[in-house]
Chains A and B, each alone.
Chain A
Amino acid sequence: MMNDIVEKIIAGDVRTVARLIRDIDDGMPKVREVLKALYPHTGNAYVIGITGAPGVGKSTLVDQMVAHLRKRDKTVGVLAVDPTSPFSGGAILGDRVRMQRHSMDQGVFIRSLATRGHFGGLTQSTRSAIDVLDAMGKDYILVETVGVGQDEVDVVRSAHTTVIVVIPGMGDDIQAIKAGILEIGDIFLINKADREGSDKTLSDLRLMIDMDQKKHDRGAWKPPILKVQAVFDKGVAEFIDEIDRHAKYLVETSGGLDFRESKAKVRQELEEMIKARLIEEVIDRLAESGEFDRAVESVVKGKIDPYTACENLVLPTLS
């Protein structure tokens, strides 16, 4: 049964892949064995993370990237992450609207993911989904997220190439990102570059990135800033060339593109996994036994403080 699933995924069976990604997202324990078996078949795809504020044109850009990569005879997987409503737990996943022209292309697999209320598990589940697309044989995997929240930043950060998308006139937003995601960008794009203020945005960005580079040693790679108009497919080919250049840089400086050979990446991934697994195991047990609800009750009634309640809950499960 499990071997069957693994074989189908390696053969690129769309339905099996789609179902496995849902099982990962839903935290089904049965996926663990499948992921273990798939691991030897991963490590071949080139992963690109794309992030930026809502409305900067990420999905349109991804759509054009898919078209260009397909022209170069590469197969592509897309993971488009959209936020879950904190009130209802539901989500509208609308990134496909911009990419539907690729839906009949057998060389393209597009999947929408919701952030859900993961306890820091988004990074973990997205990474597992990347592994699945990798194992199914996709040459490139594009991961698109709204760049808010540490989880979503972590997701794109774990890519080979991290792309930050902004639009002209986002002065305040650049202020906001300079403390957070400016450091993680390998390539910066100013989309909708025909709009007023693109030159100023370019020089602002250049300044901040240069300052940032002086602070942190990021090697010889100087993040390029490109002006594009994704909707008209202007500048996208040049952007893909920059991705190639970055890939070459990675190969030259670290000797390869396989994450599994990088100690830093493995450390980061293993950390994430331990975190996700611990939380899953502990919270599950507490929820099932009813201890969690009882503790909530006690804190509300003033019988106990939350610090002590937390200790009482966590320490016994670890011993």
Chain B
Amino acid sequence: MRQKRRVRVMVAKPGLDGHDRGARIIARAYRDAGFEVVYTGLHQTPEEIVEAAIQEDVDMIGLSSLAGAHKYLFPAVIELLRERAADDIVVCGGGIIPDDDIKKLKESGVKEVFTPGTPLDDIVKWVEHNVTPRQD
């Protein structure tokens, strides 16, 4: 049967933050929603994340940060995607992120930010509504 495009997403942990439980749980929820999830592991630089996202042709990058460096790392990913003409890839983020920062991150191009306590279903639904597999 002709395959339909499937949503491909990448879950990445930028920076020195070593807490990946959340990222793993999100990856699992995405899998259960029928997405193909590329997981990159810990301690990734924005450059590594963007390169991997391009090689994997993903539709979205989900960045997880629990160590406070999101203000630098998330916009760095956005900027690199622009440089590579790959800014059709949606970027969302999650983790311990103060409200004030969420506003700034969204201004920089992060499409949504999920904070602790967000039900997994909400996150999956958001992806289903906001990320479409590449059409061309």
Contacts and interface: CB of A to CB of B under 8 A. Distances in A.
Interface in A99-125: 100, 103-104, 109-112, 114, 116, 118-119
A88 B1 contact: no
Nearest to A29: B2
A92 interface: yes
A93 interface: yes
B106 interface: no
Best-surrounded residue of B5, B34, B47, B57 (most CB of chain A within 10 A): B57
Given A14-B54, A100-B44, A109-B55, A90 B39 contact: no
Contacts of A21: 57
Contact of B31 (A91, A280, A287): A91
B76 interface: no
A90 B54 contact: no
A301 interface: no
A89 B1 contact: no
A26 B8 CA distance: 11
A22 interface: yes
A26 B27 CA distance: 21
A280 B2 CA distance: 6
B41 to A, nearest CB: 4
A25 interface: yes
Contact of B56 (A90, A94, A111, A116): A111
A91 B39 contact: no
A26 B52 contact: no
A92 B52 CA distance: 15
B36 A96 contact: no
A165 B33 CA distance: 32
B57 A22 contact: yes
Interface residues of B, number: 34
Interface string B1-44: 11111101000000000000000000110111111111111001
Given A119-B1, A284-B1, A88 B34 contact: yes
Contacts of B33: 88, 90
B36 A93 contact: yes
Nearest to B47: A104
B45 to A, nearest CB: 8
B134 A22 contact: yes
Nearest to B9: A90
A110 B57 CA distance: 11
B128 interface: no
B48 A90 contact: no
Nearest to B84: A15
B1 A283 contact: yes
B96 interface: no
Contacts of B85: 15
A120 to B, nearest CB: 12
B131 interface: no
A118 to B, nearest CB: 8
A97 interface: yes
Contacts of A85: 31-32
Contacts of B121: none
A27 interface: yes
A92 B31 contact: yes
B51 interface: yes
Contacts of A89: 6, 34
B86 interface: yes
Given A26-B5, A27-B2, A90-B30, 6 more contacts: A88-B34, A90-B37, A91-B31, A93-B39, A94-B41, A96-B56
18 contacts: A15-B57, A18-B54, A18-B55, A18-B56, A19-B134, A84-B36, A85-B31, A88-B31, A94-B41, A96-B56, A103-B48, A103-B51, A104-B47, A111-B55, A112-B38, A119-B1, A280-B1, A287-B1
6 A-B pairs with the lowest CB-CB distances in the bound complex, closest first: A97-B41, A90-B31, A27-B3, A18-B57, A22-B57, A89-B34
